[in-house]
Structures are given as C-alpha cells and as structure tokens.
Structure 1
C-alpha cells in the first residue's frame, strides 16, 4: 500500500511537470571572438571573428533547460609587438561545442511578442582541428562556464553570452603559453515549438 502511494505521488509530480513542459527547437548561426588568458609578455593575443552553427532544444517555460550542439571555429591572432624573434601566429581552432544551459524568463513569457531571458551553464569543447599548429600540443577536450542574455521576438531570437574556460587550451607548452580561452558568442535563430501543453 505504501509503495502504491509513493508511486502515485511520483507519477503525479511527473505528470505535473509534463503538463507544464514546453519544447522548442532552436536552430541558430552566429559569430564569436576568442582571446586567451595568459600574457605572452612579448606581444598580445587579439581575438578575431569566428563563427558557429548548430542548434539547441529548450525544455520548460519560466525556468528551462537547454542542451545544444554547435560546430565552432575560433580565431585568435598572436602579434609580437617587441620583435623578440617569435613570429606572429594565428590560432584557428575548430571543433564541437556542447553547451548545457539553465535559463530563466525575466520579462514576458512564451506568448509575449517580446521576452527577455537570462541564462548560464557549463560547456564542453571537443577539438577537431587547429590550422598550422600541432594538434597534439592541445587538449582534445576543454570545459567552460558561461553567462548570457537572450531576447525572443515571436519566433525569432538573439542571444549573447560570455564564456570562461576552466581548463588550459594547451597540454604541451613551449614558446607561447596561451592559458585558458575566453569567448564572446552571439547568435540568432528561429524558435520552433514542438510541444506546448
């Protein structure tokens, strides 16, 4: 009898959550800028414009969970300003970024013509390629955390977030220690509701 009551309560909770669930698919495309945390001493890192394309799935209403997957290309330039003998170098890094977001609707809701969201989360970046440098010198996976804001305009949305990596980009440090990455992401896309209760 006790087991039946517990199962009934759990079932009611899940049904309640499901009845409040809203599922929205969000394909998106955008740009990013990345620099590194270490001061190379003889020059500086300058973020250049990169891009990302992918999408996410938002689950929930006022509070929502949003896993995503994006192909990302990040570009950073090292400029040797003191002619120390180190050559200027471009870090053209590409890979798969998997953000896991928790967000909160600050103003408006799913039915509003315009709404504002705040969000944050953790991400994993899996290195696919790094142009003109030895891929073996870099970590194949790195982890980050981020905060951002999003605005929904009916079926359209725009988002911007700032990410701090929690792990070093390199595993073998020789001439230039670049440390951790810091990235600004901005993207826009379409909101496609597939389940509204």
Structure 2
C-alpha cells in the first residue's frame, strides 16, 4: 500500500508540474458492480455476482488531460454451490459477501471540454485491490484465506458530467488470480453515480 501511495504522490506532483493551470475536482460516488469470476474450492464452486461500491475519485489536470486516483469500498456477493462428487452429498446453494478496498489510478481525457453543460470523458489505468473480509457461513469451508489478499486489474471507463452530477461506466479486467489455491480472475463491470465539486 505504501508503494501505491508513493506512485500516486509522484504522479500528482509530476502532473501538476507540467500543468500550471491544474484544477482539482473531488468526485464522491456510489454504484453497483457485476463480477464475473469462477473457481473450485475444496468441495465448493464459488462465483461472484452483483454487489455495490462507494468511494471517491480525484481529477487533477488542465483543459483536456487529467490524473484520477481514487479509493473505493466494494462489497461483492458470492454464490457458493457444493460439488456433488458423491451420491451421499446434499446439494445446497448459499450466498456470502466479500469486502474489498480498491485504489484505482487512472489517466483521463475530456472529450467535450470542462466548460460544457454536458461533458464526456474517457479514462483508463490500473486498479490494485485488497481483500478485507469474507462473511463466513457456519459449516461452509469458504473464508478470506481462500482468496488472495492483493490482486491487480487493468481498467477502462467512459463517463459523463451533467453540471455537478456524474455518471460513469467502468470495466476492470483481472490481471492476477483472485483465489489463493486455484485459478480464476475477477472481471468487474461497475456503474456509478455521484457529484463533483
């Protein structure tokens, strides 16, 4: 996490040095996310589903380009289904939640310009993620230890500003395995809305 903080700090200083008219926009937001990840854990098949997220992004830049670091809390819903490898097992489905912190670092480009009533922008970058907790269910062998603590993703997004309101759609491609002992990467589609000031 310290490495990420150092990267963001250096990027902000460098970006500001080359952008004498740099402005900072604060953009708190709330949204929903759809995850696409599958993995086989012990006798369980785990798959992520719909969740929610809340956080804040900054936009630091001039007329067209901007740097956009952020910090977001994500809550995923995971569906757990037991693997019916023997006839004696009873089939069950259970859902639990996974909490994580994401710290995206993006470079953005204003398509229509900041002074317009309606502004479209593109952004892309990297997203480190840290798993915080798993809501463990009694009798189900699925816990935080089954997930990697840190993962990386590459993301691209399209956003829109309407006066002080913002809406953005972001797609993150998992660049590392999500599970500790099996393969499976987490790809996340997020739709968020917020305000900017």
* TM-score > 0.5, shorter chain as reference: yes
Q: Distance in 1 between matches of 2:16 and 2:128?
A: 32
**How does 1:28-67 map onto structure 2 within 5 Å?**
28-36=29-37, 47-60=48-61, 61-67=63-69
Point out where structure 1 has 5 or more consecutive residues left out of the alignment.
Answer: 1-12, 193-197
Q: What secondary structure, in the 3-state scheme, does the structure 2 residue paired with 1:111 have?
A: coil
1:35-184 alignment runs, 5 A limit: 35-36=36-37, 47-60=48-61, 61-79=63-81, 83-84=84-85, 85=89, 87-106=92-111, 108-132=112-136, 133-173=142-182, 179-184=184-189
Q: Name structure 2 gaps, 5 residues minimum.
A: 1-13, 137-141
Gap change, CA 1:152 and 1:15, over 3 Å in 2: closer
Segments of 4+ in structure 1 off by > 4 A?
A: 13-16, 37-40, 42-47, 82-87
**Number of paired residues?**
173
Q: Distance in 1 between matches of 2:17 and 2:56?
A: 27
Larger Rg: 1
* Greater alpha carbon shift after TM alignment, 180-189 vs 45-54: 45-54
Range with greater deviation from structure 2 (16-25 or 93-102): 16-25
Check 1:118–1:167 CA distance in 2 against 1; reply closer, same or farther (3 A cut): same
Give the root-mean-square deviation of aligned CA atoms. Answer: 2.8
Where relative contact order (Cα < 8 A, 6+ residues apart) is larger, the structure is 1
